[in-house]
Structure 1
Amino acid sequence: MKALKTAGLALAIALLATTAHAEANADWAHFGGDVGDTKYSALDQINLATIKRLKIAWRAPAIDPAVKAENPKLVLSNNYRDAPLVVGGVLYMSNQLGQVEARDPGNGHVLWRQASFPGDSQMAGNASRAIALWGKGTGARIVSVRGFYLYLLDAKTGAVVEDFGEKGRVDLRADPKTIYSWTAPAPIVVKDVIVIGGQPIAMGTADINKASLAGDIRGYDVHTGKLLWTFHTVPHEGEPGTETWENESWRQGGKTKVWSAFSADEKLGYVYLPLSAPANDYYGVARPGANLYSDSLVALDVKTGKKVWHFQTVHHDLWDYDLPTPPMLADIKVNGHLRKAAIQVTKTGFVFAFDRATGAPLFPIVETPVPASTMPGEKASPTQPIPVKPLPFERQGMNEDQLIDFTPALHAEAVQIMNRYVHGDIFTPPSVAGGPDGKLGTLYLPGWVGGANWTGAALDPKTGILYVPSVSVPWIGRDNYKRPPESSLYMEGPQGLPMVKPPYGRITAIDLNSGDHLWMVPNGDGPRNHPLLKDLNLPPLGQAGRAAPLLTKSFLFLGEGDMVGLSIPKFSGGNMFRAYDKKTGKVVWETDLGAGTTAPPITYMYKGKQYVLVGVGGVNHPAELVAMSLE
């Protein structure tokens, strides 16, 4: 009898633990699912045995329909990038105007919408990539940035918390002579500190790539809105790193900001910053040196804003090779040893793996000689850091072996096009168009859209396997003497087809224990039905849309992106949304959403049912939320 009681008690404890675990995983509480941005959920109601029953449960506009009814002339962007949060049976989102909305996660109906602040019309703006949630119960708060302001809202009612800042908001402008360029990064709250990115810009500065104000990172008290600390992303006088901005160019160095999102380790109390290129993105004559902390992963103590460690992934950036997404944090085995890992994917196609407590590389990183610049006055870095492992998840550099070869004629035309440009290994610098060599600039791969971009990758903390969506898109980097340096341009190939071999969009699975690639598959059909290709019976070619991953216990979910996104090349995007087998990359389920995915997918449980939700939109398709569940 005693044994039965003990067994019963053990069973009860196990059931309680299982229930608690299930409840803990029922929500999607952060931009990337968890504060470590793994984009992973252990929910498994949708599994191999049930996925055939996965259907669209509801669709809803990405803004409260009342807004459009009240403002019929309102023009909204269909490039909707928000990843909603679902916590405590409520869905919270940033709508197409950047206002916070609360919705019913079972049908998408609006529960409340953020009201206009007194004196503000609030009829202009764009969705943030995410908002943040802090606190529980009646004390739960929503943190958002919209326009020039940081807001704190009551999560139950949407009302501003009036003892935060000035009656519920904090003005983020450095002074009245600046504007605040938010570009929609997701804020994060760690240990009662709100951390935000973005960039103040001086009034009258038309080009944010020119020297302006740096994208300093700031920490605010979540209770009061008081500014607690500022981290200078371009070092100030007397701070370490100014020597990397030669000729005192740190005095005018700009940008170097976080424009996507943050991740954090709440136990360590560290927040991780994926920082961008400096200004100008493609021209470094005015900023000689390595230019810290551009293109760097920086770990800060969230209480003090002090740097704990950093690593610069590109020195003296000339390609706009920003760190486009926060590192994924998990305790995983690397070379057989359990490590506190920070895994950073990049536009260049490299994966950098670090110990997130110390910054020590988990695989060797070698400073490697790279090509010099031929541009007058330009001093390209003589070396760049190259990880020994994992191997790149994308192709790098331009040569004949990379070029499209569906037919000999197409390949020959691609060779002719390529030879009009300077080309070579990755990190071949931009060059002068119309210079003595007669070239039209530098053709480089990956281009500034990646490789990986802000949609990031996903990490399974149970297996240590990384899943990276990426694109193969060459671009042109160039300057000439008659006008200022220009942004790089997408490079079309023969007959308007892509320049390089497929896949143009791919998914790569990487075992982080060994650093080895497990599989690679194309994402979508790509242009195989193009008139020049349709009779060649080609396999799926992949497409170069910006697609964000969602990882569950059973599947990798991924859409195809859409042409409505920023700087998307031809033949990109598609309406399909798929579930891939995590072990093989095989498609096990797919559906047509009627538009391409523009936002990261999420998953959550509501009233006993698991949902997968994603934002979609198109050039001629209004932005929507689409939720799927089992029939």
Structure 2
Amino acid sequence: MTHRRRSIAPPLTGALLLVMALLMGVGGAQLIALGGSWYYALAALGLAASGVGLVLRRRWALWIYAAVLAASLAWSLWEAGLDWWPLAARLGVLFVIGIWLLTPWLRRGLHAAGEPAAGARHDAAGHPAISARGSLALTVAMALVAILSVASWFSDPHAIKGTVPMAAGSTGVDPSGVPPGEWHAYGRTGYGQRYSPLTQITPANAGQLEVAWTYHTGDVRGLSGDPEETTFEVTPLKIGNRLFLCTPHQSIIALDATTGEEVWRLDPKIQGELALQHLTCRGLSYHNDASASAAASASIAGEGTINATTATVPATTPAAQQTPSGAPIAAIDLPITAECPSRLFMPTADGRLIAINPDDGKVCADFGGGDGQIDLWANMPYVNPGSYYSTSPVVVTASLVIVAGTVLDNVSTTEASGVIRAFDVHTGALVWNWDSANPEQTAPIAADGLYTPNSPNSWAPSSVDEALGMVYVPMGNQPPDQWGGNRSADVERYSSAVVALDLATGRERWVFQTVHHDLWDYDVPAQPSLIDLTVRGQRIPALVQPTKQGEVFVLDRRTGEPILPVTETAVPQGAAAGDHTAPTQPVSALSYDPPPLRGRDMWGATLFDQLACRIDLRKLRYEGRYTPPSTQGTLVYPGNFGVFNWGGVAVDPERQITFTTPTRLAFVSRLVPRENATELYVNDGKVPPGSEALPALNENFGAPFAISLTPFVSRLGLPCQAPPWGFVAVSDLTTGKRIWQHRNGTVRDSSPLPLPFRMGVPNLGGPIMTAGGVAFLSSTLDYYMRAYDVSTGAQLWQSRLPAGGQATPMSYLGEDGRQYVVVAAGGHGSLGTKTGDAVIAYALPATSE
């Protein structure tokens, strides 16, 4: 008799199952000890038994494996329901092994108990016969997994389906006076609505959008001295037939709005060796004197202007002169013009505010006492160029330019002031200053005076209502963000708040705090959007404020009183040594706060990294939102990336809705006790060449704790929480009701393989809406510009971007009569999206005459 070599597949597969059982058993026991699920330990016992059976070549091993798979399916459905990605994490590895166990190559190597392998029945070819009974249970279990998995493809438990009702009718002329086809401020107007009244692009034709032109700035991150967060976040302005924008390294550029051709370019000669945490420019600001508006508009729309990069500086100017902080003086180092009937304002990374003639890109010599600029380091404590500047556009009114700025986050307790200052828009003279640590003294500071160090700052864009005479300022925190044991009463009052300041005097008109005693870096990150709402038959001037923690507060912008109800809710207690927590936190009737995370919400590419995430969750301190920071390590959810960040939301004044892009990401915050004032506790001390001036982030020199901040991810670098991580949604601002919500974006550009799985990914940047019923968004982690039907949320169109689109689009009317939508695609350093330098315009196909 001929003896055939026995297959080694069963014992090798059995050994694999035993290794899996060991890993799951050890992890499962640890999870049980931490008070978590018993599933992993019990499943490990089943896998071990099946593995032993395979090593012994017994057919009963398949029955045990089938029982493990069936029990795992039941457990998965109980924990996650028909939600594909959580099911895939739990069942994927088990299903793949099940397929292998059902193959003839493995099953022929098995025999029944009591039946020696040599005596097993053989087929006509001499191979061991395959027992159908030995695999029937496994086949049934596999079929159930497959059927329910396919069913989950058609189920989305995270979606909200609905339809936005049509607008009742126009509310009248835009009170800002901005022409419908233009975009004069960061949010189009001082109201910050990010809403265009243009109607040419509709849900019916948006699918026909095509690239009209592309402009490359030539400015990309990666230069010596660039911080990690070097970003291209600009939203251009459109005035006349010009687009105006700025680049990460602070160049100012004018383009023909219809063709995308460069008209002029100005390099403001930024000082080197800067202590930068961020290097960005979100946009410029525009002022036009009413008395000269017609002439200025005609001038801006004209052709044949001078290229500022080639204009000559008057020979009589002393080119070596600098500001007290060491920065160049614009009117000396750059081309100048004697006066500017209209002007652009550009805040620079070395702490200047430069006034520029939009006609030709020359500096306005009649501004800033003849310097063409304001030195924002004037009267500042702890001068350290780069550690303070305005990353967001300044506010411009008929007579004022109002400037806020960011300070270094979590570096030290000896930082610049977060003072808000108003300057004369024509001369640059200081009109008032509001220092949140000294709020009653708003008269211009004495020449030798100093603003309060380390006071809460405002880094997001502000909004303005000139008719009501108020500027609305979103405030951040006093560093350090995660420990507040030494904050003063005024700091406590104004941190993480929206403050309305009187335009004439700078005095506080009202304040609304979005977080009490903020220990989570939940500073107010976005521009307030101003809109008039009809509530219970009354027309109310409202302010819509999105926050990092997911609340959207809707306030009466005259008084700061809530229009939608706000409830003070009890929150976890127990702060670090020397600190305290607020007993309650405000919760709005319109809230995108995600549900608290549980063990069943943990995720991974496999069962094993999901188990590791469940163990990590149990090891961290987490009692829901607002769990205080700790030396143990605290899970912060939503994390300081924010449900909303600087991109804010878009509001439709006709439909009285808001288009939002909520993100869900958890972070881990760990307080690290500091034993001395100089040692590095959370940085490794290795400074990249050419980056010696960059700050040691999160060290909190001068505070009792440094802070370690990390995303809550698995061993494979995937988020520990299950997707989706990003949505698009619309809510009714008069009721707080969420009308529709859909996951948004794919993992094509953030996974090892470019697979376009629509999992719903985070975004950083803002949306816009148009009166045509179409919304636009470019800022997801995959590189696409997308259009959505505002009524239903259906995606209408997408176009591949050459780099990350972490910017807010804008829309305008070109000279050719077409509606354009423009976005900057240059990537974001700390997000790791692809770098680039593109400005891309889209439009419907041109019609032939």
What range is the shorter-chain TM-score in? 0.7 to 0.9
Matched, 1:609 2:818: yes
Could you say if the C-alpha distance between residues 213 and 23 of structure 1 is closer, same or farther in structure 2, counting changes exceeding 3 Å? Answer: closer
Offset, 1:540: 2.1
Output aligned runs, 1:129-140, within 5 Å.
129-135=282-288, 136=293, 137-138=295-296, 139-140=341-342
Task: Supply the distance in 2 between the matched residues of 1:194 and 1:533 (Cα, whole angstroms).
Answer: 46
The question of whether the paired residues in 1 share the 8 Å contact of 2:436 and 2:494 is answered with yes
Could you say if the C-alpha distance between residues 611 and 89 of structure 1 is closer, same or farther in structure 2, counting changes exceeding 3 Å? Answer: same
Question: What are structure 2's unaligned runs of at least 5 residues?
Answer: 1-171, 297-340, 443-450, 675-680, 682-704, 828-832
The question of whether the paired residues in 2 share the 8 Å contact of 1:399 and 1:424 is answered with no
Offset, 1:362: 0.4
The question of whether the paired residues in 2 share the 8 Å contact of 1:335 and 1:514 is answered with no
Output aligned runs, 1:562-601, within 5 Å.
573-601=781-809
The question of whether the paired residues in 2 share the 8 Å contact of 1:256 and 1:278 is answered with yes
Which has the larger Rg? 2
Q: Matched residue of 1:485: which SS?
A: strand
Could you say if the C-alpha distance between residues 44 and 360 of structure 1 is closer, same or farther in structure 2, counting changes exceeding 3 Å? Answer: same
Offset, 1:321: 0.2
Matched, 1:104 2:259: no
List structure 1 segments (4+ residues) > 6 angstroms apart after TM superposition.
17-23, 72-78, 120-125, 531-534
Match of 2:625 among 422, 426, 440: 426
Q: Residues 241-300 of structure 1, C-alpha deviation per residue, up to 9 Å, x if partnerless? A: xxxxxxxxxx97624111121111121121100001221011112327671211010111
Matched, 1:141 2:347: no
- Show the counterpart of 1:558: 777
Offset, 1:512: 1.1
Task: Supply the distance in 1 between the matched residues of 2:668 and 2:219 (Cα, whole angstroms).
Answer: 41
Task: Supply the distance in 2 between the matched residues of 1:123 and 1:211 (Cα, whole angstroms).
Answer: 19
Q: Residues 329-365 of structure 1, C-alpha deviation per residue, up to 9 Å, x if partnerless? A: 0112234532111000000001111001111110222
Higher helix share: 2
Q: Residues 483-512 of structure 1, C-alpha deviation per residue, up to 9 Å, x if partnerless? A: 432142211036432111221111221111
Task: Supply the distance in 2 between the matched residues of 1:610 and 1:47 (Cα, whole angstroms).
Answer: 11
The question of whether the paired residues in 1 share the 8 Å contact of 2:646 and 2:765 is answered with no
- Show the counterpart of 2:398: 191
Q: Matched residue of 2:619: which SS?
A: coil
The question of whether the paired residues in 2 share the 8 Å contact of 1:332 and 1:462 is answered with no
Task: Supply the distance in 1 between the matched residues of 2:207 and 2:614 (Cα, whole angstroms).
Answer: 46
- Show the counterpart of 1:278: 478
Q: Matched residue of 1:515: which SS?
A: coil
The question of whether the paired residues in 2 share the 8 Å contact of 1:398 and 1:424 is answered with no
- Show the counterpart of 1:346: 547
Task: Supply the distance in 2 between the matched residues of 1:21 and 1:520 (Cα, whole angstroms).
Answer: 31
Report the AA paired with residue 378 of structure 2: A
Q: Matched residue of 2:471: which SS?
A: strand
Could you say if the C-alpha distance between residues 476 and 230 of structure 1 is closer, same or farther in structure 2, counting changes exceeding 3 Å? Answer: same
How well do the aligned residues superpose, as a CA RMSD in angstroms? 3.3
The question of whether the paired residues in 2 share the 8 Å contact of 1:424 and 1:444 is answered with no
The question of whether the paired residues in 1 share the 8 Å contact of 2:417 and 2:457 is answered with yes
- Show the counterpart of 2:368: 165
Could you say if the C-alpha distance between residues 288 and 150 of structure 1 is closer, same or farther in structure 2, counting changes exceeding 3 Å? Answer: closer
Report the AA paired with residue 479 of structure 1: L
Match of 2:429 among 222, 226, 231: 226
Larger displacement relative to structure 2 (314-323 or 366-375):
366-375
Task: Supply the distance in 1 between the matched residues of 2:527 and 2:402 (Cα, whole angstroms).
Answer: 13
Q: Using the aligned pairs only, state the percent identity.
A: 29
- Show the counterpart of 2:839: 625
Matched, 1:50 2:205: yes
Q: Matched residue of 2:494: which SS?
A: coil
Offset, 1:63: 4.9
Task: Supply the distance in 2 between the matched residues of 1:21 and 1:37 (Cα, whole angstroms).
Answer: 11
Larger displacement relative to structure 2 (470-479 or 485-494):
485-494
Higher strand share: 1
Could you say if the C-alpha distance between residues 19 and 141 of structure 1 is closer, same or farther in structure 2, counting changes exceeding 3 Å? Answer: closer
Could you say if the C-alpha distance between residues 531 and 63 of structure 1 is closer, same or farther in structure 2, counting changes exceeding 3 Å? Answer: closer
Q: Give the TM-score of the pair, scaled to structure 1.
A: 0.83
- Show the counterpart of 2:310: none
Q: Matched residue of 2:364: which SS?
A: coil
Could you say if the C-alpha distance between residues 63 and 83 of structure 1 is closer, same or farther in structure 2, counting changes exceeding 3 Å? Answer: farther
Question: What are structure 1's unaligned runs of at least 5 residues?
Answer: 1-16, 240-250, 434-440, 562-572
Matched, 1:470 2:662: yes
Task: Supply the distance in 2 between the matched residues of 1:396 and 1:281 (Cα, whole angstroms).
Answer: 24
Task: Supply the distance in 1 between the matched residues of 2:456 and 2:820 (Cα, whole angstroms).
Answer: 37
Q: Give the TM-score of the pair, scaled to structure 2.
A: 0.63
Q: Residues 354-407 of structure 1, C-alpha deviation per residue, up to 9 Å, x if partnerless? A: 0011111102222222111242222111221222x11x2141543335433887
Aligned residue-pair number:
571
Task: Supply the distance in 2 between the matched residues of 1:480 and 1:200 (Cα, whole angstroms).
Answer: 22
